[in-house]
Each structure stands twice: as structure tokens, then as C-alpha cells.
Amino acid sequence: TYVVTDACIRCKYMDCVEVCPVDCFYEGENMLVINPSECIDCGVCEPECPAEAIMPDTESGIEQWMELNAKFSAEWPNITAKKEAPADADEMKGVEGKFEKFFS
């Protein structure tokens, strides 16, 4: 499966949503997550994310984000169409420690 990591927080470009063939993205206030039981591992979303927030679960150190994606994809609503990204998305791109500062 592919996994959304903390780089998505407050960037939330949603380009990923547009390309996913199985609509397995779920939307929180500050980031999206992927439902690991729905993702078919096609990989097309990974290069589409301007924040480079999406990674395969084979990446090292990804366990924390795998848990987060599994947990919140069961709670948050499904998102199937791209919306407008946050106004300060570009300023938030690449900022460190976003999980600690902004995740809610």
C-alpha cells in the first residue's frame, strides 16, 4: 500500500485524489490519508504530490504514518474530487515538525 506522510499536513494539494483509480483517499482537516485495505498499490499518486508526501509502505521509518493512515481512513470521510488547496500551502511545503505543530 501507499501511505500519506506528515509532509501533506497543511499543504493538502489534493492532486493525489484526482489520479487514484479506486478513490481510497480520506480527508481530515489538515491532511489526507489512504485506506490501506482499498489501495491497490498502483503508485500513480506518488509522483503527483507536489509536497512529496506519498510513499510506499516499504520505505524505512514509515510505521508511524502507516498506523495513522489506517486509523484515520476508518474515521474521516472519503474524498473523490480535488478542492482548493489551503492559501498558504506553498509556504507550508517542506516545513519540519508539522505533525507536532498542526496535526489535529
Residues 14 and 85 sit within 8 Å (Cβ to Cβ): yes
Distance CA 49, CA 45 (A): 7
Residue 69: strand, helix, or coil: helix
Q: Among 3, 16, 20, 92, indicate the residue that binds ligand F3S (CB under 6 A).
A: 16
The DSSP secondary structure of 11-23, one letter per residue, reads T---HHHHH-TT-
Q: Does 41 bind ligand SF4 (CB under 6 A)?
A: yes
**Residue nearer to ligand SF4 on the CB measure, 44 or 94:** 44
Candidates 35-43, 50-58, 59-67, 69-77; binding stretch for ligand F3S (CB under 6 A): 50-58
Q: Does 44 bind ligand SF4 (CB under 6 A)?
A: yes
Q: Does 51 bind ligand SF4 (CB under 6 A)?
A: no
Q: Does 33 bind ligand F3S (CB under 6 A)?
A: no
Candidates 40-48, 66-74, 80-88, 89-97; binding stretch for ligand SF4 (CB under 6 A): 40-48
Q: Per DSSP, which regions of 20-103 are E strands?
A: 25-27, 32-34, 54-56
Residues 13 and 90 sit within 8 Å (Cβ to Cβ): no
